[in-house]
Amino acid sequence: MNPVDLGIAELTTALARGELAWSDLLAAYQSRIAAKNPLLNAYVVWFDGSAELGSGALQGVPVAIKDIIDCAGFPTRAGSSFYLASAPGDAAAVRRLREAGAWFPGKTNTHEFAAGGTTLNPHFGPTRNPWDPARMVGGSSGGSAAAVAARMAVAALGTDTAGSVRIPAAMCGIVGLKPTYGRVSRRGVVPLSWSLDHVGPLARSVDDAEAIYRCIAGVDPEDPTTGFGQESREVPPWFRIGLVDPPKGFGVPLQAEVEQATRQAAEWLSHHGHVVEPVELPLWEASLAANFTIIRAESATVHRQWFRAHPQAYGEDVRAYLEAGLRISAVDYLEAQRVRTVVVDAYQDLWTRFELLLLPTIPTLPPTIAEHPRFGAPLTQGTAPFDLSGLPALSVPVLAPSGLPVGIQLVAPWWQENWLFTAGRQLEVARGPMRWPD
């Protein structure tokens, strides 16, 4: 039994029964990180081989933390050359994990300040894909996704503002969840866009993602965006699923293997008794434009003083990103927020016809690092609308005939994460056991 191959239930059970020694678990992860991280560059800082065994539902579970999330004992650099915070304590989500018995092997690489989708960080170097080191991991939670896929952690925390949990989950062949906006506290997280930021888990199975989610979800009195949602409704015996027509659902051509995998997923869910019908995303182009405006305007506001003090300390792409945000007028920003309310209303109407949506997480197989100038905004075409609307979304992996991962995205009404877990597990059963990179 190699400890790094175990999921949450297997690991906690083995520790509880004495079948796995705590010292052996730590040694296994120290060895794995030492072997894999020099090539993949998933971690920017990691543990020294020592940690205390906690107690709780996640006893002994190693969870990697994206380096814009505070975690006591590690610095928070946010992927930046100048930002450095010696975290006085844990972010709210990290604290909940620690209280549940999890431990933290390190902080993971991120696109600088989470302001991009590649994790080709100019200050800490690129994170490489465990399936093929010549390929991107996506972003901005790319280090977290690579750490989980390469079995350098059982699970990880990331953040998602336009797709930054789901995109790297899709590229690295793992599960990524963006919960409903307000479901998980963002206290202790370096903000990118306060009205769009979400914290969510990455894991190798839906069960493990759900276990992390159950620990981090809940009201935080110090984060006023939490606690306003309704309780999850009972999972229906079958779902009406809207299959988003891929050619109309993306602004870039959908690769054949991705389209094939998505339609196969629809067939699998049909075989489970669900009704699958074609649908178009409501106000798709308006959603993308509004997300673009809001995220850049709010990011520029967050960074205004830092940008004035350190303009040349930013990487070229993030500097251009913030310069674009500084040019957005108050009128444009408020108009984007108005569009947002219209989009939310459109989804409320859509949920009278469906319980779930199904679409590719991204339209392509993982691009190579050499191709990255052609891939930026197109990778968010199928993810950003659900950050704007605050809807929960789950990416579940399958393998294309080429052997590279494809992300299948499920979207549910607000607060209905349980529905995503049910359908996600059904996809896993139909897909069969996932093969992992060496």
Evaluate whether 354 touches 240 at the Cβ level (below 8 Å).
yes
Q: Quick one: average pLDDT of 40-55?
A: 96
- pLDDT, tens only, 329-348: 999 999 999 999 999 999 99
What angle is formed at CA 42 by the lines to CA 98 and CA 58, rounded to 5 degrees?
20
The CATH number of the domain holding residue 422 is 3.90.1300.10
Residue 156, in any domain of the structure: yes
Residue 230 tokens read as 């309704």
CB atoms within 10 A of CB 22: 14
Say what the pLDDT of residue 253 is: 80
Structural domain includes residue 111:
yes
Other beta carbons within 10 angstroms of residue 411's beta carbon come to 28
Of the candidates 167, 56, 60, 176, the residue with the CA atom closest to the CA atom of residue 114? 167
Q: Among the options 144, 164, 299, 395, which is catalytic?
A: 164
330 in a domain, yes or no?
no
Mean pLDDT along residues 32-59: 97
When pLDDT is averaged across residues 7-15 and rounded to a whole number, the result is: 98
As a whole number of angstroms, the distance between CA 407 and CA 362 comes to 7
Answer whether residue 223 is part of any domain: yes
pLDDT tens digit sequence for 192-251: 999 999 999 999 999 999 999 999 999 999 999 998 776 788 999 999 999 998 645 566
Secondary structure string (H, E, C) spanning 157-226 = EEEECCCCCHHHHHHHCCEEEECCCCCECCCCECCCCCCCCEEEEEECCHHHHHHHHHHHECCCCCCCCC
pLDDT for 372 equals 73
Active site residue 141: no
- Please write the tens of the pLDDT for every residue from 123-143: 999 999 999 999 999 999 999
Answer whether residue 18 shows pLDDT above 60: yes
For residue 338, is it within any domain?
no
Asked if residues 97 and 65 have their Cβ atoms less than 8 Å apart, the reply is no
Is pTM beyond 0.85? Reply is: yes
The per-residue pLDDT for 88 is: 75
Question: How far is 174 from 176, CA to CA, in rounded Å?
Answer: 7
3-class SS of residue 25: helix
Please give the average per-residue pLDDT across 365-375, as a whole number.
81
Q: What angle do CA 425, 427, 429 make, to 5 degrees?
A: 70
Does residue 164 have an active-site annotation? yes
- The residue segments making up the domain with residue 58 are 3-233+359-431
Instruction: Indicate the pLDDT class of residue 87, thresholds 50, 70 and 90.
Output: low
Q: Would the pLDDT of 377 be above 70?
A: no
Instruction: Give me the number of domains the chain comprises.
Output: 1
Task: Please check whether residue 369 lies inside any domain of the structure.
Answer: yes
pLDDT surpassing 90 at residue 375: no
- Which residue from 124, 208, 153 is spatially nearest to 394, judged by alpha carbons? 208
Q: Would you say residue 262 lies in a domain?
A: no
* Candidate list 36, 80, 107, 140, residue with the active-site label: 140
Specify the pLDDT at position 84. Answer: 83
What is the Cα–Cα distance from 207 to 209, expressed in whole angstroms? Answer: 6
**Does the residue 416 lie in any domain?**
yes
Residue 376, pLDDT > 60, answer no
pLDDT tens-digit readout, 254-308: 899 999 999 999 999 999 999 999 999 999 999 999 999 999 999 999 999 999 9
Q: CB-based contacts of 259: which residues, under 8 Å, 6+ apart?
A: 246, 360
Query: How many whole angstroms separate alpha carbon 162 and alpha carbon 292?
Result: 9
pLDDT value of residue 378: 75
What's the burial of 313, exposed, middle or buried (CB within 10 Å: 0-12/13-18/19+)?
Answer: middle
On the question of pLDDT at 78 being above 80, the answer is yes
